[in-house]
Amino acid sequence: MKKSIYFLLTLFFGLQLIFSCGDDVPTFEELKSAESKIIKRIIAEKGIEVLKEYPSDGIFGDNQFVELESGIYLNVVDSGNGDRAKYNSTTLLVRIAGSIYISADSTESFNTFVNTALPFEFKYGLASYVKDAHVASFDSYYYFFGTGIESVLQYVGDSAVVKMIVPGYAEINNSRASSLHQYSNQYRYYPIYFDKVRYIYYK
């Protein structure tokens, strides 16, 4: 009986604490707005020209990016050999380099093109499952990997090279709810600028 009362009291005060803190948690729109300011800074710093539509000939200028419906900004450096990945069938090896924007004035760089780094491996359509499995095992190497990388495969083929800006909210929209922790916590979305992403079909 005492244990039951203790449990109920703990639950009651725990819920009170949660609800009392609720007003301090930013809304989705507030988080998205704050991240948008950082993305505007990235665009200005990199001298990016944002295109209204995907180029009809598929050719991008060096600093031309198109904003996709997902919120991702894409520049295709090399569209590859024309062989498109097959959903839930093609396995890819991907290497990436770029920076994650921790705040308006703080970045952290990463590069998996070095010889000591392994490429990310995933089957097209299952990137979120691969991400979640590695996050669950506390594998920090997959911190910069996510469905944003996978989502542009409809535009490019084997051996393609692209540049991207992947907002944290876009990553969430393209994956399951657990993706909330990929580039964000409950107070911040972290956009990532990919200076180079290379796709190789493995099998």
Residues 199/80, Cβ–Cβ less than 8 Å: yes
The CA distance from 189 to 86, in Å, is 30
The string over 175-200, giving b where at least 16 C-beta atoms fall within 10 Å of a residue's C-beta and e elsewhere, is beeebbebbbeeeebbbbbbebbbbe
pLDDT by residue (tens digit) across 102-132? 776 788 889 999 988 889 999 999 988 888 8
**Residue written as tokens 């703990």?**
10
The phi, psi pair for 67, rounded to 5°, reads -85, 115
Render pLDDT for 63-94 as a digit per residue (tens, 0 to 9): 999 999 989 999 999 999 989 999 999 999 99
Which residue type sits at 36?
A: S
